A and B are shown apart, each in its own frame.
Chain A
Amino acid sequence: MTSSLPTDYWGRVVYLASHYAGSFLNGAWKTIAIAVVGTAAGCIIGFLVGIIQTIPVSPKDPWYKKAVLKIVRLILNVYVEVFRGTPMMVQAMFIYFGALQYTSLKLSMWSAAFLIVSINTGAYMAETVRGGILSIDIGQTEGAKAIGMSHFQTMLYVIFPQALRNIIPQIGNNLIINLKDSSVLSVIGTIELFYVAKQNAGTYYWYFEAMTIAMILYLIMTLTASRLLRWWEKKLDGPANYDLATTDTLAFTSGLVEYPADADDHFAERNKEGGEER
């Protein structure tokens, strides 16, 4: 078998890719699973934290509401600062081995992997969501209040959809970062793409070749992710034109009303300034 091993670079890449396809794809699949689940869970954490951080307090509120809110916010601030201020690789080992040695929590390697990516993403998303909510013009809230919506309804139906639209680019950023940075989980033995690439490389000491395949697979995943996110944005924006409803018997000049591109500009601008690079 060893006699037939290829000796040139591309030959080795092709050899690894064909003989270890299952292993690479399995690793890539695990990377995708960790990134997608971690980003989704992180977004949910981020939304919850962001919403709690933006609950308005009025002087009329009872003291216990103010006190509880203050304590909860303090804790959430600590969470955000700690997880943004330390490397995910260190967090991974800290949590995985900490839980293993000092708690009765039997954290499996996989649950540890999902947990770490989720709470790490949550810490970043919390700030993004808070900024997204605060960036929505106060007039939107007043418009909703003026027709009798409660604070919760205002958030759910008016503020939140607009904030979400504005932070999609950040969600996309986080997804792409998680696709890449989940590679640090190999330190706790998570069998994702980087882990299997290293393993397969070690078989023949073909590191360059194995990493070529890993590079290509990571690139395919991140490019696909950014395309999907852009498609989602477009879909949420709805059509750039609107149909004039021509139900009236009076003959309206029917057809599409063209609107200049300026409709989308304001989002583009927002996204530029809203982006906190991770």
Chain B
Amino acid sequence: MSEVILEIRHLSKTFGTNVVLRDIDFEVRKGDVISIIGASGSGKSTLLRCTNFLETPTSGQIIYHGKDLTASRIDEAAYRARVGMVFQSFNLFNNMTVLQNCMTGQIRVLKKKKEEAEAEARKYLEHVGMLPYINAKPRQLSGGQKQRVAIARALAMGPEILLFDEPTSALDPEMVGEVLAVMKDLAASGMTMMVVTHEMAFARDISSQVVFMKDGVICEQGSPDQIFKNPQRSETKDFLSRFMNS
């Protein structure tokens, strides 16, 4: 088994009196592709956002390479630079071109030289097939193109883990494929990923592990085969049958 990068231990999150996550417990190993599935409102996004401290966990631990990040005041920004995130709504910087979007983090956060940052940005833009569009502004791109640039932007930071929050949910159906193809390539190249998704085929065929969430708890988790072919919990069966038939 490969090295453990991230451990989530007894993680809970409440908004006011609303308990959104309860005692979430799992670990991420190098090269894992963990798909997180579950109904809308089950806490999937909140789990990802707690993982990179866009939300502050209410209790529990997030342990990164053996270091408990919740124990002390840590440099959240430095940690986030190591954990990339791809959002449902892309969140590309509207004031920058495609190339600048992929360079700014390297220059400002990683303090790389401009030439080096540009070479790196071009490399990842080529990976995602967006190199011809380096001079475009986000508003001039289609949803699928934006999401591919967003993936390149995250990759250009050289992250150890990539978090995806429903990366294809805001896309027109004909654009879902181009983004999933990029994600499949990434998974094949050994990138460690946590993917919140409603693309069951992706979860089944690409992931090393599937986590099914319901009402803020992990209801069931296991290999894709276990979850999709032989689910143990009735909630998982219900969810999957509803999803597969709709």
Contact = CB atoms under 8 A, between A and B. Distances in A.
B15 to A, nearest CB: 12
Contact of B84 (A147, A238, A243): A147
Contacts of B109: 147-149, 153
Contact of A162 (B79, B85, B94): B94
Interface in B119-147: 131-137, 139-140
A156 B136 CA distance: 22
Contacts of B208: none
Nearest to A161: B95
A242 B135 contact: yes
A158 B93 contact: yes
A242 B176 CA distance: 24
A259 B84 CA distance: 31
A266 B138 CA distance: 13
Most buried by A among B90, B109, B150: B109
A26 to B, nearest CB: 41
Given A147-B154, A263-B139, A248 B131 contact: yes
A172 B133 CA distance: 33
B40 interface: no
A162 B95 contact: yes
B80 interface: yes
Interface residues of A, number: 32
A238 B87 contact: no
B69 to A, nearest CB: 13
Interface in A222-273: 238, 242-248, 252, 257, 259, 263, 266
A259 B80 CA distance: 35
A145 B81 contact: no
B223 interface: no
Contact of A147 (B80, B132, B134, B136): B80
Interface in B195-224: none
B132 A244 contact: yes
Interface residues of B, number: 38
A148 B110 CA distance: 9
Contacts of B135: 242-243, 245
A139 interface: yes
A140 B94 contact: yes
B56 interface: yes
Contact of B140 (A162, A259, A266): A259
B54 A263 contact: no
A143 interface: yes
A190 B120 CA distance: 58
B93 A149 contact: no
Interface in B55-83: 56, 73, 77-82
Nearest to B82: A148
A141 B117 CA distance: 22
A60 B56 contact: yes
Interface string A148-184: 1110010001100110010000000000000000000
Interface in B127-181: 131-137, 139-140, 150, 153-154, 157
B193 to A, nearest CB: 15
Contacts of A143: 87, 90-93, 150
Given A158-B95, A257-B136, A263-B139, 20 more contacts: A139-B87, A142-B87, A143-B90, A143-B91, A143-B150, A146-B54, A147-B80, A147-B109, A147-B153, A147-B154, A148-B79, A148-B109, A157-B93, A157-B104, A161-B95, A242-B97, A242-B136, A244-B132, A248-B132, A257-B140
Interface of A: 58, 60, 139-140, 142-150, 153, 157-158, 161-162, 165, 238, 242-248, 252, 257, 259, 263, 266
26 contacts: A139-B91, A140-B94, A143-B150, A144-B93, A145-B54, A146-B84, A147-B80, A147-B105, A147-B153, A147-B154, A148-B77, A148-B78, A148-B109, A149-B77, A153-B108, A153-B109, A157-B108, A161-B95, A242-B133, A242-B135, A244-B132, A245-B132, A245-B134, A257-B136, A263-B137, A263-B139
Interface of B: 52, 54, 56, 73, 77-82, 84-85, 87, 89-95, 97, 104-105, 108-109, 131-137, 139-140, 150, 153-154, 157
| 7 closest A-B pairs by CB | A148-B81, A143-B91, A147-B105, A146-B85, A139-B91, A242-B136, A148-B109
